Structure 1
């Protein structure tokens, strides 16, 4: 494995947080996934970067060397990207919309509105589960806009330097197999799933830290955590071997039921980002308005979420 900038960011995040668990929360990753990534980095460099025990993670001599070089290299590369983007922006053709997106309800409607209202526009999309990767591509001038999610009040899990507008904020729902005893309930208390097995897909989600905290407040610790890609997670839930979390705007799917959590302890924000001094800044307000319209369409098509909003008029401020 060749060492990449994202690997150096991981090493710095662990050193800054003082533990792999805390760094996973900051990066929006599950702790097992970050541990596996650190092990791959250590294999590539030929030795341990951190001594880990109950008190946290402390850099080894090799780790100190890598950190010293990373803390010089990462700001230098970011500066290079910013300067290159500013230089390239004068050559960008008008009417180009390059949009990166993490899984969410907005992208299709946004692309439709741009294409319909600007027939000559060049529209392209790029998908990733990582907000940080998409943010890097905006800074590098490879994307104009990103649509990402963020848990609660946390900032997007991507580099600083982008301008952000909130498109919407929603409660997080449970995702259960259709035949689950709780699937037809209007709301489910987390405590009723104290014995459940849980599954999550990798990405910038609220599963690891926020979900664990919500479960703790409900009086239990999640028993088992499977981590797999989105299709695998859906298969595990549909088969009845696990339950999971989902966005309230999730389009209805055969074999699955999205069920509100009593008290709405978890929230998820849809956000649009762009480079404030880049060419996309001139049309960012219009793109943001299109994104809000696309989100509103997604809500209208989701009967269960619409019904929940009807039962909780005081929560309507969550959905912009």
Structure 2
């Protein structure tokens, strides 16, 4: 019998479980079947791998050798499989862009920009409220680029081999119906909203905690937070059920207004991510440049954001700007 990867996984499972009974349960096998398999493996390797005792099993010197090698071999094979999957799924030319993004207008604006600069390219999109899911799709080679974001200076979603670059930093605005008592204000102080209920779109970052902390500094605890999709958020705001939290680039809509918060207690950092092993540097640079121009275009279509930028252009409260380079 030749040794196979599944045999190494079996040996590792037995060592981790500490007994054949527990290992058989973990592997979904009957104990006699696992014992017979172990004997075949031991014959192939030329000696016993485990000493059996009243309290379970313990690796022999030969067993320790096999386990030590398996700790190198198994992760290496897994990495090879993942790399091969990314390569197989990656486009063979620059004429294909598989884009991912969270909620908001930036993904659509980037698609529009790429259609202008590469009219023959095939562009597909995928949306998710989870930045971690998008990072996973990049790591698996199922997306080429992803637009995600983080609250303030929080770290981007992590996965080995991913590159994240800043597109822009926006203040977080509040969304209220146009009949709200504060709708006419140029800026709204968070303390003035202490009695409101709130709504925002979901995410798996720290935004909710940062919002709660900002409210605590303002001297109150939010009454209630509805986490929902964008359409439901807008509805809750329209009917006066909640005040919405949104990025400053949120498009102008009939019946609602967006207003900045005094002192900019919350900000959102837009990021573009890709896998360093599958995207050529010049392609990544092109998509990043287009993402930054897409953001500038979206921001220009928001009256409230345009006014805020004009008022804060030379102050510390202004967004961090658009860094150059990769």
CA distance change for structure 1 residues 93 and 310 in 2, over 3 Å: closer, same or farther? Answer: closer
Deviation at 1:80, TM superposition (A): 5.7
Structure 2 CA distance, aligned partners of 1:135 and 1:121?
23
Task: Indicate if the aligned counterparts of 2:196 and 2:223 stay in contact, CA closer than 8 A.
Answer: yes
Structure 1 CA distance, aligned partners of 2:290 and 2:143?
18
Partner SS state of residue 171, structure 1 = strand
Partner SS state of residue 167, structure 2 = strand
CA distance change for structure 1 residues 289 and 94 in 2, over 3 Å: closer, same or farther? Answer: closer
State which drifts further: 81-90 or 163-172.
81-90
Aligned to 1:318: 320
TM-score, structure 1 as length reference: 0.71
Superposition map of 1:124-273 within 5 A: 124-204=124-204, 207-273=207-273
In the alignment, structure 1 segments of 5+ residues that lack a partner are: 1-74
Kindly provide the CA deviation profile for residues 150-199 of structure 1, in whole angstroms up to 9, marking residues without a partner as x.
10001223534310110000110011122110111111111111111112
Deviation at 1:90, TM superposition (A): 7.3
TM-score, structure 2 as length reference: 0.70
Partner SS state of residue 299, structure 1 = helix
CA distance change for structure 1 residues 177 and 132 in 2, over 3 Å: closer, same or farther? Answer: same
Partner SS state of residue 318, structure 1 = coil
Aligned to 1:105: 105
Kindly provide the CA deviation profile for residues 106-159 of structure 1, in whole angstroms up to 9, marking residues without a partner as x.
222221222222222111111111111111111111110000111000122353
Deviation at 1:77, TM superposition (A): 10
Kindly provide the CA deviation profile for residues 216-267 of structure 1, in whole angstroms up to 9, marking residues without a partner as x.
1101110112232222222111100111210001110112111100000101
Aligned to 2:121: 121
CA distance change for structure 1 residues 210 and 249 in 2, over 3 Å: closer, same or farther? Answer: same
Structure 2 CA distance, aligned partners of 1:77 and 1:157?
25
CA distance change for structure 1 residues 144 and 217 in 2, over 3 Å: closer, same or farther? Answer: same
Structure 2 CA distance, aligned partners of 1:90 and 1:267?
33
Aligned to 2:288: 288
Structure 2 CA distance, aligned partners of 1:81 and 1:237?
48
Structure 1 CA distance, aligned partners of 2:210 and 2:168?
19
CA distance change for structure 1 residues 82 and 308 in 2, over 3 Å: closer, same or farther? Answer: same
Partner SS state of residue 265, structure 2 = coil
Aligned to 1:95: 95
Structure 1 CA distance, aligned partners of 2:77 and 2:259?
44
CA distance change for structure 1 residues 83 and 239 in 2, over 3 Å: closer, same or farther? Answer: same
Count of residues paired in the alignment: 246
Structure 2 CA distance, aligned partners of 1:183 and 1:118?
41
Partner SS state of residue 112, structure 1 = helix
Deviation at 1:300, TM superposition (A): 1.2
State which drifts further: 272-281 or 145-154.
272-281
Deviation at 1:204, TM superposition (A): 4.0
CA distance change for structure 1 residues 91 and 222 in 2, over 3 Å: closer, same or farther? Answer: closer
RMSD: 2.2
